[in-house]
Chains A and B, each alone.
Chain A
């Protein structure tokens, strides 16, 4: 064995060189990434590109080899990425201003083209963002405000996604979907007038609820009165003559004797003076039989 091999420093040195070489040659491609192999600035091939419906474990991910120092790897995300859109004002056909916040999800399906046209995912996002914005403005600007709050919304988003996809194809990107995250009335007068409308609607509702309650109450009272009347009529109607007598008796008692519940209790009750004529029926027997 040569002296160099016995020397641990030499061994360590060689090991380091080997490691560097191995590191420059081999690379592991994870499932989440696509790798573009670039030789002296020219993209040569793509490892682990996206294929529709491919199962994990059957992809191109894994250990790869390349020419060390000649070829470099550009990593491109394989996952679904998002383009956030800054909120922007959209004017609907009926002149409503709406602040729309949308997002698009996309996937890089052609890493080579994407690398050539945009280099990085960030650039793709940055370049698609204004296009997404204008696509949304165009689509929403063609419709009345109410359409934004209707099932049509899904259709509108599909249209936006379609028009965005045409552009995205140039970057090797596929738009998965576009969704409106928020659609709000802008601060200031549009929002205030919406509040005002809500307030007046509520006040109107409160008024009508009150009136309805009053109406119901009156109906309930009237129904009760009617029912009472019918109860009375049914009972008393059997013999109106007797009723007349019966009720008169009650009434006399209530009026003069203070025995009834109805009359107000005067302080001088019981001091009623009654002047009876001897012809009175009550005194018939008093007079004696003639």
Chain B
């Protein structure tokens, strides 16, 4: 293209130089060479040729004349032999540029260039600078083989569901993204028609095949990484069957959720799980308390018993007296001395303390 522009620019320059050009004279203001009094001219009429006595004809009658004029003007810059018109040089420059531009290729580090000779596959070149024959003969198509490409299927948005049937005939909403690269550029270019569409189709079919072997619980829970691996494997197998030259790098499952219509029921399950968990936590807390208390009491008993064993009688009496001391020091006491005396009990005072007589009986044992 650059070559073409160069050529165009050159001819445009020569046109512009022709003061007034095809759009009439420049008004004659500059050189004021006599036609100033003519008044406004028809802009399409031929300009007067006062400035250039060299122009053989009065007007540019033909392309040839025009070229000839140009040749004369550029005579100094383009030395030429007689009989070689300057457009031949233009053509030569154009061809040279064409050859340069179309046969010189820079293949970026992440790319590979597939070279075809008249449409026929010739070779694949790696990164760096390489040469091919110029364009009509050889053509290079650069393919980025390192770039990770993504094909997304389904979406995580709630109103856009990609429902898939699981093995137990339930439905889940799945969104995932396939990462892939071009492995064989020539295969990729020549083997399949719509690579992106093919990948999307194959991905959908593989996912459905895999999900249909899982139960709902597996698919929304632990089976996700399993889905990822198996889908990637199955896709790779299918694409290799096509000879697509595509490498599946991985599948990322972004979402495997129950459909929105049944989401509440699923939340209820979660709530029930929480509830069950809290029951169990409460029970565990109770269990710990009870056990700890039992252990504490048993330990205390053991300690006391160990002492008791050493001197049973004394310890027993000691404990009895100590306890009685503590008990009786805090309560109101009445001692009925003589047997057979019926004492007067100040019952109104004792009303409301129903326990007392019972206690008395017990102590009195």
Point out residues on A near B: beta carbons under 8 Å: 7-9, 28-32, 56-57, 59, 61-63, 77-82, 103, 105, 145-146, 148-151, 153-154, 176-177, 179-185, 191, 194-195, 197-203, 205-207, 209-210, 212-214, 216-221, 223-225, 227-229, 231-232, 234-236, 238-239, 242-243, 245-246, 249, 252-253, 255-259, 268-283
Contact = CB atoms under 8 A, between A and B. Distances in A.
A273 B334 contact: yes
Contact of B121 (A56, A223, A275): A56
A149 B121 contact: no
A69 B193 CA distance: 30
B127 interface: no
B51 interface: no
Nearest to A235: B298
- 3 nearest CB pairs, A to B: A213-B276, A224-B287, A228-B294
Interface of B: 63-64, 67, 85, 87, 116-123, 163, 165-167, 169-171, 186-187, 189-194, 197-198, 201-202, 204-205, 208-209, 212-213, 216, 238, 241-244, 258-259, 261-262, 264-266, 268-269, 271-273, 275-280, 282-284, 286-288, 290-291, 293-295, 297-299, 301-302, 304-305, 308, 312, 316, 319-321, 323-324, 326-339, 343, 345, 350, 352-353, 355-357, 359-360, 363-364
Given A206-B271, A216-B279, A199 B332 contact: no
Contact of A202 (B265, B288, B319): B265
Contact of A213 (B120, B279, B337): B279
Given A198-B259, A203-B268, A214-B279, 10 more contacts: A31-B186, A56-B187, A79-B191, A198-B262, A220-B280, A231-B294, A270-B330, A270-B331, A278-B339, A282-B328
Given A81-B193, A227-B291, A231-B295, A274 B268 contact: no
Contacts of B169: 145-146, 149, 194, 197
Contacts of B123: 57
Contacts of B356: 272-274
Contacts, number: 326
17 contacts: A8-B64, A57-B123, A62-B120, A82-B194, A176-B241, A180-B208, A198-B262, A199-B264, A210-B275, A213-B277, A227-B294, A235-B302, A245-B320, A271-B331, A274-B360, A275-B343, A282-B321
Contacts of B280: 213, 216-217, 220
A76 B287 CA distance: 80
Given A149-B212, A221-B287, A255 B359 contact: yes
A274 B118 contact: no
A258 B355 CA distance: 13
Contacts of A206: 265, 268-269, 271-272
Contact of A272 (B279, B291, B332, B337): B332
A249 B320 contact: yes
B208 A183 contact: yes
B349 to A, nearest CB: 8
Contacts of B166: 149
A106 to B, nearest CB: 10
A23 to B, nearest CB: 11
Contact of A181 (B201, B288, B316, B350): B201
A236 B301 contact: yes
Contact of A62 (B119, B198, B205, B329): B119
A147 B271 CA distance: 35
Given A77-B193, A224-B288, A202 B269 contact: yes
Contacts of B63: 8-9
Given A31-B120, A151-B213, A255-B359, A249 B323 contact: yes
Contacts of B305: 235, 238-239, 242, 246
Given A182-B208, A210-B272, A258-B330, A249 B116 contact: no
Given A216-B279, A224-B286, A79 B190 contact: yes
B352 A57 contact: no
Report which residue of A9, A78, A82 has the largest number of chain B beta carbons within 10 angstroms of its beta carbon. A82
Contacts of B192: 79-80
A214 B356 CA distance: 43
A195 to B, nearest CB: 5
Contacts of A77: 193
